[in-house]
């Protein structure tokens, strides 16, 4: 009992959990010991999920988790568990899905879920303010009401388990094949044809959609698929979401004009940006885009490299506790730079909170960038989450392989092969795992590792890569594949410590693991296994449609190869 009456995060390796080690909240890690304690003591669980570079996670931490009065309410009434969503994507997936079930809106971070003593959710939210505002109740008010409700309605809440599981279980129909382009057209109709991205704000890059559009353009040569890709890259490379000084993109913008970023930079966004921009540069050969591609790759090489020689996860939005401080400029700082207003939109009153977020008017000279860099170099850098995630590091290898075709003189293929050797030494020669714990691995780790091996094989013709890809694919089938449903589970079948077995068929921050495995199996010639998975994904696609953009191109790729057409994973040609 005593060990749970204190904050137990001080020795955890996760940078996000370590940030909360001095909170007066008695934070626990997610493990069987903590879950057993809640069950034995019949106490509800408060689950808080976030990540180290999350701005609103910081806000809620400062307002509530560092507040002694709030902490006392939490400690007296709940078993409080803190989870890094990048370390446990399966937990994040399950409880984000639960949040969406309860609230019928999309989730986000911080995710604040209330679970019964058995770890089953019964209520949830995202950010709660310290004091009631903008229609949101205060966090203390929520805590008190949930605690009281649990005491009064405990039996009813416990009895909801089967109903919640039934509603979380993905629906599927018996459709084995269907026309795919009409499903893609639904997404096309929801796009902003003037500004790019989906209509409205906030604006996310949604690379999964654009990679699928590019695939269908390569296959059909229909311009309706290329036009949105042209627009999104014109926008991403010139507006405020792109860091014109150092390179790389922010996670999203809060406005519909792509000007005001949520300043954190994520590895998953930037590797996908590099990968898709490389594919786009095969079609649009403008030097401008090649320069943005090179700048972003060099930025990741310099700023995302951790002490192990892998790439870390994210760079924070905040520095000195202020969002965007590292990235924005005052008018006084830059007004005397010669012709600065020729290259960037520079107004005395700024374009965000009296500060200037750089928006490109035309490509600036190196001299201009160097002067801006000199100003920025005097500032404190934002926090770097140096956590290694296997799936994202494999995505980095694939992005380098693709970029090498556009910038062959930069030797990015050689860099990709050298980077792969580090992966091989740490993971393949020992044990494949996701981040810190060797006991945690997910289908995405396998899917993107196999994908990287396939990419390396295609460009080097070294059979070592193909043989390993086949071997690891067989391992994935043994560890994750559910025969009765012909689908991969997100975490290993035999070691799930959550109330629900997670099957993930939708795209999220990265392309979906099941869809990537279908592409992998086709590329490796494992057609029997691919056929079962393709038919299974078709059954989900007919219901979940726009959430499954990577599955859309994966299924089409399988169909084309199965029909004997001349294809690769970027598109297909029909032989005369």
What pLDDT is recorded for position 576?
Answer: 30
Strand stretches in 362-480, DSSP E: 384-385
- Rg value, the chain, Cα: 24
Interatomic CA distance for residues 235 and 232, integer angstroms: 5
The per-residue pLDDT for range 355-387, each reduced to its tens digit, is 999 999 999 999 999 999 999 999 999 999 999
What is the per-residue DSSP string for 309-338?
A: SSB-SEE-SEETTEETTTT-B-HHHHTTST
- Give pTM, 2 decimals: 0.96
CB-neighbour burial class of residue 110 (10 A; exposed 0-12, middle 13-18, buried 19+): buried
Q: What residues does 84 pair with on adjacent strands?
A: 50
The per-residue pLDDT for range 438-485, each reduced to its tens digit, is 999 999 999 999 999 999 999 999 999 999 999 999 999 999 999 999
The per-residue pLDDT for range 239-274, each reduced to its tens digit, is 999 999 999 999 999 999 999 999 999 999 999 999
What pLDDT is recorded for position 1?
Answer: 57
**What 3-state class would DSSP assign to 23?**
coil
SS3 content of the chain, % helix, strand, coil (to 5): 50, 10, 40
- My answer on whether omega of the bond before 470 falls inside 30° of 0, hence cis, is no
* Beta-carbon contacts of residue 48 (< 8 Å; ≥ 6 apart): 65, 80, 81, 82, 83, 110, 111, 112
Does pLDDT of 575 surpass 70?
Answer: no
Are residues 499 and 120 in contact, defined by beta-carbon separation less than 8 angstroms? yes
- Residue-wise burial string across 169-182, b where 16 or more C-beta atoms lie within 10 A, e elsewhere: ebebeeeeeeebee
The per-residue pLDDT for range 102-121, each reduced to its tens digit, is 999 989 999 999 999 999 99
Token pair, residue 184, equals 């893609």
Q: In the chain, pLDDT over 90 holds for what percent of residues?
A: 94
């Amino acid at each position: 009992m005593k060990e749970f009456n204190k904050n137990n995060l001080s020795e955890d390796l996760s940078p996000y959990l370590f940030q909360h080690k001095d909170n007066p909240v008695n934070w626990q890690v997610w493990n069987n010991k903590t879950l057993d304690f809640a069950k034995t003591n019949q106490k509800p669980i408060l689950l808080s999920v976030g990540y180290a570079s999350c701005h609103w996670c910081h806000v809620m931490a400062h307002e509530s988790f560092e507040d002694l009065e709030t902490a006392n309410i939490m400690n007296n009434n709940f078993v409080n568990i803190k989870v890094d969503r990048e370390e446990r994507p399966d937990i994040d997936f399950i409880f984000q899905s639960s949040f969406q079930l309860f609230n019928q809106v999309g989730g986000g971070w911080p995710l604040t879920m209330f679970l019964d003593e058995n770890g089953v959710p019964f209520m949830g939210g995202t950010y709660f303010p310290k004091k009631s505002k903008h229609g949101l109740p205060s966090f203390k008010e929520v805590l008190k009401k949930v605690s009281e409700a649990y005491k009064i309605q405990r039996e009813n809440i416990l009895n909801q388990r089967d109903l919640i599981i039934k509603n979380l279980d993905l629906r599927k129909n018996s459709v084995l094949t269907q026309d795919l382009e009409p499903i893609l057209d639904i997404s096309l109709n929801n796009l902003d044809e003037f500004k790019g991205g989906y209509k409205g704000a906030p604006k996310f890059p949604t690379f999964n959609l654009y990679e699928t559009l590019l695939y269908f353009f390569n296959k059909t040569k229909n311009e309706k698929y290329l036009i949105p890709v042209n627009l999104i890259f014109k926008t991403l490379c010139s507006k405020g979401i792109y860091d014109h000084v150092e390179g790389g993109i922010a996670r999203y913008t809060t406005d519909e004009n792509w000007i005001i970023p949520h300043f954190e930079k994520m590895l998953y966004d930037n590797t996908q940006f590099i990968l898709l921009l490389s594919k786009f540069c095969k079609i649009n050969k403008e030097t401008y885009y090649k320069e943005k591609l090179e700048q972003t790759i060099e930025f990741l090489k310099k700023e995302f490299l951790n002490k192990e020689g892998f790439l870390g996860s994210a760079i924070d939005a905040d520095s000195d506790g202020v969002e965007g401080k590292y990235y924005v400029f005052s008018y006084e700082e830059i007004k005397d730079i010669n012709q600065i207003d020729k290259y960037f939109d520079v107004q005395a009153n700024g374009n965000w909170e009296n500060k200037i977020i750089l928006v490109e008017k035309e490509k600036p000279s190196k001299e201009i960038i160097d002067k801006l860099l000199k100003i920025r170099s005097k500032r404190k850098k934002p926090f770097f989450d140096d956590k290694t995630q296997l799936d994202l590091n494999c995505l980095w290898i694939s992005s380098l392989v693709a970029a090498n075709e556009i910038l062959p003189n930069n030797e990015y293929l050689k860099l990709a092969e050298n980077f792969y050797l580090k992966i091989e030494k740490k993971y393949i020669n020992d044990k494949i795992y996701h981040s810190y714990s060797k006991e945690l691995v997910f289908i995405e780790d396998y899917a993107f590792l196999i994908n990287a091996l396939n990419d390396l094989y295609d460009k080097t013709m070294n059979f070592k890569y193909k043989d390993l890809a086949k071997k690891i694919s067989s391992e994935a089938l043994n560890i994750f594949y559910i025969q009765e449903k012909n689908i991969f589970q997100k975490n290993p079948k035999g070691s799930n410590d959550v109330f629900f077995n997670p099957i993930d068929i939708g795209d999220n921050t990265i392309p979906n693991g099941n869809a990537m495995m279908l592409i992998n199996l086709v590329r490796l010639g494992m057609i029997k296994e691919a056929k079962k998975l393709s038919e299974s994904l078709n059954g989900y696609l007919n219901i979940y449609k726009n959430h499954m953009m990577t599955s859309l191109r994966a299924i089409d790729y399988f169909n084309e190869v199965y029909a004997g057409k001349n294809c690769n994973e970027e598109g297909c040609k029909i032989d005369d």
